[in-house]
């Protein structure tokens, strides 16, 4: 085990859990890797010999301590524009980046997708044009798909945003628990956010969007790693 300090907390992760299979980054950043489908660390000493398939199934896990804002409000901040825009700016009203202005869609994988509301987008585009003299630039590649899970008290518990598939392709497909190319030029990916409220930790996971179906198992595995290797 190699010790890592995350805020006031100490962890003793086995070395092969770290991204470089050595230890925390200089400066204290903690990045871990879980290998799909087992969702455990890669065998020691294998980082330099990973195949492209291994590279794709390596789920990155970034852990940070949050003390500047209440940890319980972090996901609400991420899914709004208030912390990223100036008060009174037209950009604050952009419905692409506000959960409260997106529209819920039928559940998928136990998540609620929230899609861009095109009626609100039309209203925003007109207001933006009136203010800026030109319409806002739209590029579907950068208009992420959003997914939400809520806790029993209806607060946000998980936020996942994924690249949109390119012409219906995600870049990878699953065959016999292996990730293989589907012929597309780009591999679409997801950024998965959740918090550990008890320890004020923010966790961000990165993985190919073809693995979105396993989001709950991935999150559970990440939580288990934190709980298992915390030094009490």
41, 64 contact by CB (below 8 A) = no
Rounded Cα gap, residues 18 and 121, in angstroms: 42
- What the block records as the tokens of 99 is 């959960």
For residue 129, the model assigns a pLDDT of 97
Cα dihedral sign, 128-134-137-138 = positive
For residue 26, the model assigns a pLDDT of 80
Residues 66-92 as b or e (16 or more Cβ within 10 Å = b): beeeebeebbbebbbbeeeeeeeebee
Q: Evaluate if pTM is beyond 0.85.
A: yes
Long-range contacts of 229-232 (CB under 8 A, 24+ apart): 229/1, 229/11, 229/12, 229/13, 229/14, 229/17, 230/9, 230/10, 230/11, 230/199, 231/3, 231/9, 231/10, 231/11, 231/12
Q: Which of 163, 205, 166, 206 is nearest to 182 (CA)?
A: 166
For residue 94, the model assigns a pLDDT of 97
For residue 202, the model assigns a pLDDT of 97
Cα radius of gyration (the chain) = 19
| Low pLDDT (below 70) residues in the chain | none
Q: What is the pLDDT of residues 162-192, one digit of tens each?
A: 999 988 899 999 999 899 999 998 999 999 9
For residue 221, the model assigns a pLDDT of 98
């Amino acid at each position: 085990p190699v010790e890592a300090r995350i805020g006031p907390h100490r962890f003793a992760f086995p070395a092969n859990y770290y991204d470089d299979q050595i230890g925390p980054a200089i400066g204290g950043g903690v990045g871990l890797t879980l290998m799909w489908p087992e969702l455990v660390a890669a065998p020691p000493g294998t980082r330099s010999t990973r195949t492209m398939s291994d590279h794709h199934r390596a789920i990155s896990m970034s852990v940070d301590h949050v003390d500047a804002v209440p940890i319980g409000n972090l996901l609400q901040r991420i899914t709004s524009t208030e912390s990223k825009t100036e008060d009174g700016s037209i950009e604050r009203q952009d419905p692409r980046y506000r959960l409260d202005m997106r529209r819920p869609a039928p559940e998928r994988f136990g998540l609620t997708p929230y899609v861009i509301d095109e009626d609100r987008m039309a209203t925003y585009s007109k207001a933006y044009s009136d203010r800026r003299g030109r319409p806002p630039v739209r590029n579907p590649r950068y208009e992420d798909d959003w997914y939400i899970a809520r806790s029993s008290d209806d607060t946000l518990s998980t936020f996942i945003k994924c690249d949109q598939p390119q012409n219906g392709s995600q870049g990878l497909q699953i065959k016999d628990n292996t990730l293989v190319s589907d012929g597309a030029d780009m591999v679409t990916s997801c950024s998965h956010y959740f918090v550990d409220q008890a320890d004020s930790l923010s966790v961000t996971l990165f993985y190919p969007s073809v693995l979105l179906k396993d989001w709950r198992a991935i999150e559970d595995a990440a939580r288990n790693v934190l709980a298992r290797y915390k030094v009490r």
